[in-house]
Amino acid sequence: MNTQTPSPEEVRKELEHILASPHIQASEKRREFLHFIVEESLAGRAGRLKGYTIAVTVFGRDESFDAQSDAVVRVEARRLRRDLESYYMNAGNVDSVRISIPKGGYVPQFEKISVEASPMSASDTEAALTGHSADASVTDIFATKAPASRRRFRMQVMAATALFAVLVIALHFWMSVPSARIHGISADADIPSVIVLPFEVLGSTDANPYLAAGVSQELVNNLLRFPGFRLYTQVVRPETIPSGEQTQAQLVSNLTYVISGSVLEEGEKARVIAQMMFAETGEVLWSESYDTPLDPNAMIQRQRDMAGEIATVLGQTYGYIHDDLVSRMETPEISSMQSYICVLRAQEFRRTFSQEQFASILDCLENAVRVDPNYSDAWAMLCWLHMDAGRLEFYGHEQLQMEYDKAFQAGSRAVQLGPDNTMALKALASINYFMGRYAESERLARRAVELNPNDPEGLVQLGWRLAARGNFQEGIPNLERAIDRSVNPPGWYFHFIAIDRYLAGDYEQMLIIAERSAVDGSSLGKALIAIANGALGKREETRQALLRMADGKLLAADPAAYFLRHGATNEIVEALTAGLAQAESVAFGNPERVESG
């Protein structure tokens, strides 16, 4: 592929072609952005293409625009680069003139390309690729940007590609998958992206191709139910693999993680091995193997179970993708995803509910919904933070209802943008619960679980509230299922399991669970430890737990009001307050009474 410099007329013709194409994913504002920087460059005014000029001319900002506090130009430039790369990898792969925006600036670059190999037709491209995103086109990805890992990754994908030359059944599975919506993600959201490669077949058993295709398909279906990232899938053919150094920068510009796997015959069973890599480096972040008998009668259910397990450990709120992204928030590959980082920070806040972190995270989310007004996940997390500010009285008791009202507005907006976005449904269910609308809260929580039964957070939100309203029979199994499926469950997942053990008189077991519930510093967890130790007559342990509980000023000041605010029934409130009274008596009362107990 040879490159030349196109004439201004050729560039303008290509610009018109792009802006008229239905395959370019750019919003109207980004189309205007592209038109402005191209025309300014062709007119010899490339030196004027600074953030301030673009903000004022294209995005309507006034003279007070400050690029440090308003990231609109940087964010939209990243998205426009993504739009152009996606366009040229798909519908625009036959265009002889290319327009790009090099990173680090806003001055476009123009190239005229002579393609030596005959390009694929549009129908060929469509037949080769099946993508799962209503808001983004599928990007062909066959290598990594890191030179040290590029060859290894390319060989892995080529091996998977060769597999499909002989596996007609696998092709059928992938081509039959309908295009699906990624709930909670607008076209403009700058978020992580994940690709699921076809699972490789190792061994000659006739069942293996079916199992490989089935697990791949079920994995995609299950991952689609988790919000927070853009998902891609592929059916590839050898002739679709790009070549040449000039393609390398395009190949993974939108990719964060690669999920791949294999199916290996081992005697009377098949072993499914799955792994997740960080696309930038090829580093393997997670790998697991699953065994299944080579029994056609059990295979369909087993492949569903395996795919559900894989999707759950990777996609859940505190799963491997989340934890890896949290660890990389300051790295260049991730830190550019500003709005998404705000969502991650809010999720981390909800593990500990640290008031010291609250203000900066709230500011971050409020800016996120200004920059990305259609980003349902950000609105959902904004709902939760306002709700937390109210129930924990961060601004005082008099502001509680105002914060609840703000939370309800944000949650309603999140569901309006993503009616089937489970994160939005869980947020709106939460604020309805704290506003005393228990029936509506339960309806929304059940809907979230129905949409994604593999999501531990959906199960725990439903189970926690059912138990708080006295329905332990249904609530506790949901909590236990959530914990069993969680990679790293927060302490509050265990609260009502400990309370259930207390009400049943099983104080030893309650203490074990209560101690687990307090690992994140939960004041309720500390109170439950005090209650359990008090019931067991352990004076010093009870005293220490009560002293630690005092850090939670709201709970320590008025336990009954605290429990009622969290929706507990009168019976539960009476039992817990009586337990705390007994704990105080054991810790600070008559020593003889303690020893005899």
**Whether residue 69 is found in the same domain as residue 154:** no
**Whether residue 79 is found in the same domain as residue 166:** no
Domain of 514, CATH number, reads: 1.25.40.10
Which pLDDT does position 433 carry in this prediction?
A: 96
Which pLDDT does position 243 carry in this prediction?
A: 41
Higher pLDDT, 395 or 104: 395
**Whether residue 317 is found in the same domain as residue 427:** no
**Whether residue 347 is found in the same domain as residue 247:** no
Residue 315 CB partners (closer than 8 Å, separation 6+):
222, 223, 225, 226, 228, 229, 321
Which pLDDT does position 206 carry in this prediction?
A: 61
Which pLDDT does position 133 carry in this prediction?
A: 36
Tokens at residue 536, please? 């067991």
**Whether residue 111 is found in the same domain as residue 124:** no
Please compute the mean of the pLDDT values over residues 48-74 and round it to a whole number. 84
| Tens digit of each residue's pLDDT (9 = 90 or more) over 549-575 | 988 888 989 999 999 999 999 999 999
Is the model's pLDDT at 347 over the cut of 60?
yes
Q: How many CA atoms lie within 13 A of 478 on its CB side?
A: 24
**Whether residue 1 is found in the same domain as residue 66:** yes
Average of per-residue pLDDT values in the chain: 79
Higher pLDDT, 135 or 381: 381
User: Count of domains in the chain?
Assistant: 4
| Tens digit of each residue's pLDDT (9 = 90 or more) over 139-178 | 333 333 333 333 343 334 333 433 333 333 333 333 333 3
Please compute the mean of the pLDDT values over residues 56-63 and round it to a whole number. 88
Q: What percent of the chain has pLDDT above 90?
A: 41
Q: Which residues pair with 185 in a beta bridge?
A: none
CA distance 588 to 488: 36
Angle between helices 472-485 and 495-503 (to 10 degrees): 140
The model's confidence at residue 416, banded by pLDDT at 50, 70 and 90, is very high
- 450 within domain boundaries: no
Last residue of a domain, one of 267, 296, 328: 328
Is the model's pLDDT at 390 over the cut of 60?
yes
Which pLDDT does position 205 carry in this prediction?
A: 59
- Domain range enclosing 21: 1-116
**Whether residue 423 is found in the same domain as residue 495:** no
**Whether residue 317 is found in the same domain as residue 415:** no
- 199 within domain boundaries: yes
With residue 196 as reference, give the H or E element that holds it. Answer: strand 193-196
**Whether residue 528 is found in the same domain as residue 573:** yes
Is the model's pLDDT at 395 over the cut of 50?
yes
**Whether residue 353 is found in the same domain as residue 313:** no
Tokens at residue 447, please? 């809907």
